[in-house]
């Protein structure tokens, strides 16, 4: 499955547009990890804990989006956009959206 942020794929022709697909994931963060991450932020370093949590959320959202695209008969997702939102109580939402397409073989 080809997944791209662009609206076309060089050297490939889109045979059919199948529609919008999305993957949504909500992740929680625990109190101890939040405390340690805040210490890192205070001393000016990067928060590896939160960076890995963001990467995990992104990967899960893209994986869910790809699964939905496959179920529609797609072999690619174009125009992919990733959004991250902070929710209350330490929750984070990751959303991947794109257009499921069928490419000519």
Q: What is the DSSP string of the chain?
A: -EE-SSSS-TT--EEEEEEEEEEEEEEE--HHHHHHHHHHHHTT---HHHHHHHHHHHHHHHHHHHHHHHHTT-SEEEEEEEEEEE-STTEEEEEEEEEEEEE--
User: Domain range spanning residue 53?
Assistant: 2-103
Q: What angle do CA 33, 97, 78 make, to 5 degrees?
A: 130
Strand order in 14-28's β-sheet?
Answer: 2-3, 76-86, 91-103, 14-28
Quote the pLDDT of residue 105: 83
Tell me, what's the pLDDT at 49? 64
What is the pLDDT at residue 15?
Answer: 97
Tell me, what's the pLDDT at 89?
A: 72
pTM for this model (two decimals): 0.81
Total domains in the fold of the chain: 1
pLDDT value at position 44?
A: 58
Identify the CATH number of the domain in which residue 7 sits: 3.30.110.70
pLDDT in tens, the chain (105 residues): 999 999 999 999 999 999 999 999 998 765 445 555 555 555 556 666 667 778 888 999 999 999 999 999 999 999 999 998 887 777 889 999 999 999 998
């Amino acid at each position: 499955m080809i997944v791209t942020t662009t609206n076309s794929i060089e050297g490939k022709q889109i045979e059919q547009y199948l529609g919008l697909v999305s993957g949504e994931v909500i992740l929680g963060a625990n109190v101890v990890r939040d405390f340690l991450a805040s210490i890192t932020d205070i001393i000016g370093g990067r928060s590896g804990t939160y960076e890995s949590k963001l990467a995990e959320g992104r990967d899960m959202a893209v994986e869910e989006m790809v699964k939905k695209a496959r179920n529609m008969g797609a072999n690619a997702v174009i125009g992919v956009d990733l959004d991250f939102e902070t929710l209350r109580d330490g929750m984070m939402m990751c959303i991947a959206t794109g257009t499921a397409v069928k490419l000519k073989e």
